[in-house]
Amino acid sequence: MYFYTLLLAVCVIVAIFLTPLRHKVWVATGAVALSAIGAITLAIMAFANGPVTLAEFHSPLFGNETIVVDKLTSLFLVIISVASITTTIYSKGYVGGYFNRFSPAHISLHYSSLVVLVVSMMMVVMSSGGFSFLFWWELMTIASFLLILFEADRQDVRRAAINYLVMMHIGFIFLVIGFVLLYNVTGSANFSAIVDYFKMEAPLPLFVILFIGFGMKAGLFPMHVWLPEAHPAAPSHVSAIMSGVMIKTGVYGIMRLMQSIDQNTELLFDIGLIVLLSGIITGLWGVILAAMQNDIKRLLAYSSIENIGVILIGLGIAAVGHAAGSDLIGMCGLCGALLHTVNHSLFKTMLFLSAGNIYSRLHTTTMNQMGGLAKYMPVTAILMLMATMAICALPPFNGFVSELLIYIGMFNGVSDGHEVLYSVAGIIALSLIGGIAVLAFTKLYGVVFLGSPRSHHVAESSEVDNIRIGAMAIPAMFILFIGLFPQFAIRPITMVAEAISGADKAIAINHFAPTLEALSGVCWVLISIVLLLFALKHRLQSERTIAQGPTWGCGFTAPNIRMQYTGESFSEGLENIGKPLIKDKVDGRAVDKGEIFPSPHNYQVEHKDKMDSLFSLWWMKVMHRINEWVMRLRTGRVNNYITFALVFFIVVLILTIVGIL
């Protein structure tokens, strides 16, 4: 089975290499679309009739394997399918701009990696665990590494890609250790064996090892540092698929882990606490750093970290709730987390693709060189506004529905007296995350799309082609559907939640259904109130003179566009509070307060994450120190080297006499 899948992938790759330059994208799209259709069919079957056993076979490398598509797998298959179709179609316009810069082989490699990434992500969620899971996981890492390397002639891209590869392998080592431990104890490395392991051995160490391994992919604090480096380097559609779905495979792993621990409530409580705490820290860290970034894609990358935090808060609350004996809280948190996984894949894909539209026109992702893009790229502006509101969890879009479910779970915890303190911690964190996310995204949207252009490139830009817009419309439709009809969207989610937690989904449905129906109703009320008010305003203004003029400058007669609020000034207030989290990298010098007639200055500041040093700086320093010490031995004198050899022999001799060697 695996062999045939790989063979098929190789056939597709050969086909991509053989087709003419302009048609390569269609081969890739065809392959992705076929696998997506297959995956969605399987998912529908699994949702309708329960788990589908796709294949049972013996593979020479991994032993006996079964591929079963259950409900959790189906949910992720759907997410992967939607995002990969969207991004592959989108890539036509985006990669088209590079045809004269790169050789056809380079383009082919890119599309091949895209296909391999999609297939490997699907196989990751389908394989039942064990070493085959690790195989596909590794293939996914390598494919995404090649995808990040697309613009390999840029040095920062190469550095980010290598950084990504190293970080992913640190995580991979943890996963290997975890699965080997599992195999040693139970004789099987499948996910289903984790249940047995937890009964036989102390469960917490294995959980933590696997949690770190999956967390590296998901971007958990403090292992998130690869995300803000990799995303600005990767092409936008690759960022979209990586941030939208690939990091979710880490969340998938964590969900699989939690699926294995129902019975042991004390353990579930501990694990819930770990997950909740890391969710809170990840979410807050991500969102505060996001609000300080001045690069679109770095901001979006940090926002992905924040959303992973929100998902984990939901999961943590669910576990704590289940452990406390409240299935209601458990179902609320779990459904919220699952729905947020879906939602985030939709709006984050859209946001990164919008960033791609901007990059393909302006060739930069620095926010402070933009401004007023809404006039020149109106459709992108509307789509981006929608995604922005969805990610800020504003009604009537989808982000609100999932956060509402998590909130309901926590408020239930508070009002029923179950684990009040944890619920309150979650409420505080989630509301602060929500508030700062609004700050981050109004900054992003306001500085990029609104106001006056800050560079002449903006005024020369135009809307992108219809294929890209069409691709972005796919997630847009889902965003609106989940936002306006949450009562239908929640049904498959409750089925998945039931499969994970073992609690009865009727609890969830009885509890949510009236709320979500009411929510759908009031969202329509909101839309109609806004439309009515707009009509009213139109009527009131119809008989009056509507004039146009310059922006009111408060009496100042010579305002210019450089006086606009920049992204840096927009988040200045937050920077004063969040200073301990960042390390500024300053180029040039700011205007001194004493300068009455300022001379020209060049000032650029980049807010770097303090956690960067956790993975780069300290072990570099340690290595340097060891190196320095070793270098002292290299004196260049032959007599010293002979002494070293003599010392070595003496040591060997002594050890032999003592009997150690």
Partner 1 sequence: MLVKLLNTLLMVVVALSITGVINRTRALLAGRKGIRFLQHIYNVNLLLRKGAVYSTTTTALFRIAPVVYLGATLLAFLFIPIADLEPLLSFHGDIVFVAYLLALSRVAIVLAAMDTGSSFEGMGAAREALYGALVEPALMMGMATLALFCGYSSFADIFATAQELNMNLTIVLLLVAYVFVVIMIIEAGRVPVDDPKTHLELTMIHEVMCLDYSGVDMALIHIAGWLKNAIFAIIAANAVAVAFSFHWWFAAPLAILATGIAIGVVESFRARNKLSRNATFILTIVAMSALVLLTGFLLIQNIEI
User: Interface residues for partner 1 in 374-433 (CB under 8 A)?
Assistant: 374-375, 381, 385, 389, 392-395, 400, 403-404, 407-408, 411-412, 414-417, 420-421, 424, 427-428, 430-432
555 binds partner 1 (CB under 8 A): yes
266 vs 496: CA distance, rounded Å? 23
User: Which residue, 431, 353, 351, is CA-closest to 388?
Assistant: 351
Site string for partner 1, 594-633 (x = CB under 8 A): ----------------------------------------
SS3 582: strand
> Minimal distance in Å, beta carbon 357 to partner 1?
17
User: Containing H/E element for 329?
Assistant: helix 327-362
385 by Cβ neighbours in 10 Å (0-12 / 13-18 / 19+) ranks as middle
Give the binding range for partner 1 (CB under 8 A) out of 149-157, 250-258, 518-526, 637-645.
Answer: 518-526
530 binds partner 1 (CB under 8 A): yes
Closer by beta carbon to partner 1, 346 or else 427: 427
553 binds partner 1 (CB under 8 A): yes
40 vs 297: CA distance, rounded Å? 30
547 binds partner 1 (CB under 8 A): yes
Site string for partner 1, 567-586 (x = CB under 8 A): --xxxxxx-xx---------
Binding residue for partner 1, selected from 105, 155, 456, 552, defined by CB under 8 A: 552
Contacts with partner 1 by CB under 8 A: the residue count is 83
Closer by beta carbon to partner 1, 431 or else 656: 431
Binding residue for partner 1, selected from 20, 60, 187, 550, defined by CB under 8 A: 550
SS3 235: coil
Binders of partner 1 among residues 345 to 374 (CB under 8 A) are 371-372, 374
Tell me the Ramachandran region of residue 220: left when phi exceeds 0, alpha when psi lies from -120 to 50, beta otherwise.
Answer: beta
Closer by beta carbon to partner 1, 233 or else 392: 392
- Lookup: tokens for 92: 């036509």
106 by Cβ neighbours in 10 Å (0-12 / 13-18 / 19+) ranks as middle
User: Which residue, 361, 388, 356, 387, is CA-closest to 373?
Assistant: 361
Binders of partner 1 among residues 438 to 467 (CB under 8 A) are 438-439, 442-443, 445-447, 450-452
Find the angle CA(427)-CA(495)-CA(120) to the nearest 5 degrees: 90
76 binds partner 1 (CB under 8 A): no
Closer by beta carbon to partner 1, 60 or else 598: 598
> Minimal distance in Å, beta carbon 516 to partner 1?
9
333 vs 413: CA distance, rounded Å? 11
Closer by beta carbon to partner 1, 90 or else 376: 376
Tell me the Ramachandran region of residue 451: left when phi exceeds 0, alpha when psi lies from -120 to 50, beta otherwise.
Answer: left
> Minimal distance in Å, beta carbon 220 to partner 1?
23
> Minimal distance in Å, beta carbon 52 to partner 1?
35
Binding residue for partner 1, selected from 18, 55, 61, 525, defined by CB under 8 A: 525
- Lookup: tokens for 508: 């969830």
Q: For residue 636, which phi and psi values (nearest 5 degrees)?
A: 90, 0
68 binds partner 1 (CB under 8 A): no
Binding residue for partner 1, selected from 38, 97, 222, 559, defined by CB under 8 A: 559
Give me the amino acid identity at 541: Q
661 by Cβ neighbours in 10 Å (0-12 / 13-18 / 19+) ranks as exposed
> Minimal distance in Å, beta carbon 606 to partner 1?
19
518 binds partner 1 (CB under 8 A): yes
DSSP conformation letters of 211-222: HHHHHHHHT-TT
564 binds partner 1 (CB under 8 A): yes
SS3 523: helix
Closer by beta carbon to partner 1, 550 or else 598: 550
Q: For residue 69, which phi and psi values (nearest 5 degrees)?
A: -100, 105
537 binds partner 1 (CB under 8 A): yes
CA distances from 386 to 256, 392, 471 (A): 32, 10, 15
Binders of partner 1 among residues 6 to 65 (CB under 8 A) are none
